Amino acid sequence: MYKLEPVFKERIWGGRRLEELFQYDLPVGKIGECWAVSAHPSGLTRLIEGPNRGQTLDVLWASQRLELFGSYALDSFPLHVKLLDSSSYLSIQVHPNDEEARRLENEPYGKSECWYVLEADEGAEVIVGHTLTCPEELKQCAQTKDWDNCLRHIPVKRGDFLYIPSGTIHALGPGIVLLEIQQMSDRTYRLYDYDRLDEQGNPRELHLEKAIAVTTIPDEPVVFEPVEEVLPSGIKTTLLEALPFTVVRHEVTGPGYLLENHDVFRLLSVVAGEAVVRQHEMSRTIKKGEHFFIPRASGDYSVTGEVEFVTSEVFPR
């Protein structure tokens, strides 16, 4: 497993809690996003150790796909992992699916995503889904800004997990820090942005026509029941197993928790605690706020300590 160097992004709705919670050395400003694993040209993360030290995942995907990642019928690196810190509401937004992204933007992937809530203030909420029955009602809602009456507001707390398929209207509320696992896309269509102004004093751009075109109507909430496996040294919980990715939470409470060999690559994000990882003669410490790339067929890893981490991988295609 190889550690990645994150990239930080200032956002109008961001804050400074990533500094407090993960001891990151943040740049100045309202830092809303840590791009922990990214092959997107707007923020490439680099391996900071191992034989491919200094390389980015897009380059490795192009040059060593079968060796490091596995066999996929995909044109580019497919996953993107973030930490988000919201001090105010994100825009009410929606993302295209793969076909729409190719047709509308000439991009390889749309954007389905999922949220694992790490911290949430009392009363924190998210917006996921709507109650509208046709595109005309969505157009009317956008014109009248009657969003409170047509969107689904969901209270959240630490440990909650939500799946946000492409086509789902959504927004993150204030007072939340979460881990987001998504498709490798930065394409967002804004429906409403609370009339906020950018640094130049201009209203932020909306994308109503495209947003309405890609929104799933009527809304079709997708809920997955987590599958929990109690092990001698911890708990393994499959949070999501569906296109386009699989997400697993690992809660290690004792010695020798086994992270088994895998035929395809995985990404690993440590969200709490610290542990020692061993493999043959190799031994290393992993701790909260670190993110790793695990190549395919790299063998078993033994994890000992008090730690919680999340692994993600591409769902079989």
The pLDDT of residue 234 is 97
| Average pLDDT value over all residues in the chain | 95
CB 312 within 8 A of CB 266: yes
- Asked if residue 311 has pLDDT above 70, the reply is yes
pLDDT digits over 71-95, tens only? 888 889 999 999 999 999 999 999 9
- ∠ CA 199-205-211, rounded to 5°: 150
Sign of CA dihedral 269, 26, 113, 147: positive
pLDDT of residue 73: 84
Q: What does the pLDDT read at residue 238?
A: 97
**pLDDT band, very low/low/confident/very high, at 316 (cuts 50, 70, 90):** confident
Catalytic hit among 190, 249, 266, 296 = 190
Contact 307, 270 (CB under 8 A): yes
Judged against a pLDDT cut of 70, whether residue 21 lies above it is answered with yes
List Cβ<8 Å contacts ≥24 apart for 42-47.
42/186, 43/7, 43/9, 44/7, 45/4, 45/5, 45/6, 45/7, 45/291, 46/4, 46/5, 47/2, 47/3, 47/4, 47/5, 47/293
- pTM, two decimal places: 0.96
Other C-beta atoms lying within 10 Å of the C-beta of residue 211:
22
Q: How do beta strands 79-86 and 161-164 pair?
A: unpaired
**What integer pLDDT is reported at residue 317 of this predicted model?**
56
Q: Is 187 a catalytic residue?
A: no
* 241-264 core/surface letters (b: 16 or more CB in 10 A; e: else): eeebbbbbbbbbeeeebebeebeb
What tens digit of pLDDT does each residue of 45-68 get?
Answer: 999 999 999 999 999 999 999 999
280 pLDDT band, cuts 50/70/90, is: confident
When pLDDT is cut at 50, 70 and 90, the band that residue 128 belongs to is very high
Q: Within a 13 Å sphere around the CA of 83, how many CA atoms are in the beta-carbon half?
A: 28
Give the whole-angstrom CA distance, residue 213 versus residue 280. Answer: 53
Residue 230: phi and psi, rounded to 5, are -85, 125
Dihedral of the CA atoms 313, 22, 90, 149 (nearest 10)?
A: 80
pLDDT for res 297 = 94
Torsion angle, alpha carbons of 231, 236, 242, 247, to 10: -150
| pLDDT above 90 for 220 | no
Lowest pLDDT segment from 35-39, 196-200, 306-310: 196-200
Q: Is residue 110 within 8 Å of 216, Cβ to Cβ?
A: no
